[in-house]
Structure 1
């Protein structure tokens, strides 16, 4: 499990949503918005919703076993994690201007302070870290 620590070393609580039943994307967004709306500014929330949509959508599209969405918010950032049962890592795709998809990693690069993949529980976790407000960037650890 990844912990999100704020600038003074306090571990923030993690909220979890099961993806095993493949909830609709609108339900995932509604849960994420409800989880974070009191804790983050509107601009950060919009970025979080875009990243959650990408990560969960890719878990549905490219794996047979999406497991869990985890969201952790502290005073300095938001950590988004999506766990699935596939060990294959995401890869950047060559896309043209006419392609409808294939830009998920670009979204992560543009919006997240950092992102990555780790092997866990016979599968993987794709995570993205968004910083907000003043202070040091949070670090997964």
Structure 2
């Protein structure tokens, strides 16, 4: 038997890298072997270099970006799927003027991110 996860029940995080992310499904929401994350990148927004111990699929739904894998640059327009092999250092950048919308899929419920150079991606604190 399965279940439904409502997007509105999942936390939304605006990060200091010009990216807003929301885990749509992962171990915290009850999955056991998969995870799905949604990302919105402002103009110039990015994910710093990092890797995972599992494969990752990135799907560009809107906008235009760049995926960098092991120092190789790949064009990433809407309609593209990037396949990131396990242990591959990669980053994502919005190279367009409009917001880039992207999904990330992992074959693991709680994928771990290992940042290169100890890059710290932090939620933006709301203004008082």
**TM-score under structure 1 length normalisation:** 0.27
Structure ranking higher in helix proportion: 1
**TM-score under structure 2 length normalisation:** 0.28
